[in-house]
Every structure is written in C-alpha cells, then in structure tokens.
C-alpha cells in the first residue's frame, strides 16, 4: 500500500527527491540521459496541507532540473488515496477574483462578460469550462470548503472531462477572500491521475 507518511517525511520540508514515471511526464520532459529518461524531481518547499470535511489534500511543488514545475497532489479519504499530477499553465497568472476578471478570466465565474462588480466574493464558479478545442470540463457537484494549516479558508473547485486528453482534470484553489470584495487568491492547474507505480523514490 502507498505510504503517505513516508512521502511526506521525504518531501515536506523541501529538498527531497522523487521520480514521476507516468507516460505524460516523460513526454513533457523529453530529455534523455545515457539512454534513460531522467524523471527525478526535487521538492521546492514545504508541502501545503488542506483539510476539508470529506478529505485531506497534501500538495507538493516539485521542480525538474530542466525547470519544469509540477504539483504532486495526494488526496486522502479515510484509508483511500488518490495521486495526481498538475501542471502550471503558462497563460495563467495567480491573483484575486477581481484580478482574474480584469485579465480576461471572468469565464471562471457566473457573471456577464466584460462586467466588473463591486463585490466578487459571492460569485459562483461556472458549472462547465470549455477549452479552445470545445472540450467540456464539468464541475464536481460539491465545491470543497476547508482550511490550511494556519486556519486560512480554502476553497477547492474541480472539473473533469470525458474527452480523450492527457490532462483530463482542472483544479482551482482559492485562498481566503471570504470577507474581501476582491475575492480570494486563485490558482489554476490542469492535471491527471497517476498510479502508485508511477511514483518512485529517486
């Protein structure tokens, strides 16, 4: 069985190393050394731990020597674990809800196009995100609301598509912002599920 505690001990303080051997990661790296792909990643800093009513999520920010950065996400529900890899998107800049609307990402939310609001904190996320190739990502019914280790409110919004794509999931993390008219700080990632056999110690 996958040992989450062993993974946390190895990576949570930064500097730990792990191999990600799933096929998509190998293609993304496209770097061969002595006939073998080097898929070793180093943890950049402390893990982030989010606690929700139904699950706990631990997020590790990993970096390859080529500069490729990914998130390794460990989701725990009771004794069950899911492992996921998420990629940062080059076109996306983290910022508040208000920032996202001003930068053309208002399609995250149930608001009219090109309309700025005085208070963004109560606006709902859209039910479906459609990408540039008209593939639809449907939002999970429940938006998870919890907190990080410091007690800061965290909202987790997840979308999934049935289309045949490498990254079939979208994850939006919103930190804080409950009492701010600008809304919380938003991060946006695309990713996929990996198997326990795709995660190995470097």
At 18-52, the pLDDT tens digits run 888 888 887 777 654 445 568 889 988 888 999 99
Same domain? For 106 and 160 the reply is yes
Residue 102 has which token pair?
């001003």
Same domain? For 25 and 106 the reply is no
Between 57 and 116, the higher pLDDT residue? 57
Structural domain including 111 reads 95-191
Same domain? For 70 and 17 the reply is yes
Same domain? For 84 and 61 the reply is yes
Same domain? For 56 and 122 the reply is no
Same domain? For 115 and 197 the reply is no
Percent of the chain at pLDDT exceeding 70: 90
Same domain? For 99 and 185 the reply is yes
Same domain? For 104 and 174 the reply is yes
pLDDT at position 4: 59
pLDDT 10s digits, 166-199: 999 999 999 999 889 999 999 999 999 998 888 8
Same domain? For 110 and 181 the reply is yes
pLDDT 10s digits, 86-99: 999 999 999 999 99
Residue 108 and residue 125 in contact, taking contact as beta carbons nearer than 8 Å? yes
Neighbours of 82 (CB within 10 A): 14
Residue 186 and residue 95 in contact, taking contact as beta carbons nearer than 8 Å? yes
**Domain total of the chain:** 2
Instruction: Name the pTM for this structure.
Output: 0.90
Lowest mean pLDDT among 10-14, 69-73, 127-131: 10-14
Please list, in sequence order, all residues whose beta carbon lies within 8 angstroms of the beta carbon of residue 49, skipping any fewer than 6 positions away: 56, 57, 58, 59, 148, 149
Same domain? For 169 and 197 the reply is no
Same domain? For 132 and 110 the reply is yes
Neighbours of 49 (CB within 10 A): 15
Same domain? For 101 and 32 the reply is no
pLDDT at position 178: 82
């Amino acid at each position: 069985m996958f040992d989450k505690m062993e993974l946390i001990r190895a990576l949570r303080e930064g500097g730990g190393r792990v191999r990600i051997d799933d096929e998509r990661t190998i293609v993304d790296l496209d770097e061969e050394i002595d006939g073998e792909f080097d898929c070793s990643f180093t943890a950049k800093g402390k893990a982030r731990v989010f606690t929700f009513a139904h699950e706990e999520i631990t997020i590790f920010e990993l970096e390859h020597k080529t500069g490729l950065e990914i998130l390794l996400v460990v989701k725990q529900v009771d004794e069950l674990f899911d492992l996921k890899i998420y990629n940062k998107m080059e076109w996306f800049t983290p910022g508040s809800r208000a920032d996202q609307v001003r930068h053309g990402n208002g399609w995250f939310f149930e608001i009219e196009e090109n309309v700025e609001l005085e208070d963004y904190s109560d606006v709902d996320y859209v039910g479906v995100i459609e990408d540039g190739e008209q593939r639809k990502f449907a939002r999970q019914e429940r938006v998870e609301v919890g907190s990080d280790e410091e007690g800061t409110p965290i909202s987790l919004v997840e979308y999934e598509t049935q289309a045949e794509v490498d990254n079939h999931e979208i994850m939006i993390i919103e930190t804080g912002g409950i009492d701010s008219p600008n809304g919380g700080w938003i991060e946006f990632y695309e990713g996929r599920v990996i198997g326990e056999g795709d995660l190995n110690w470097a």
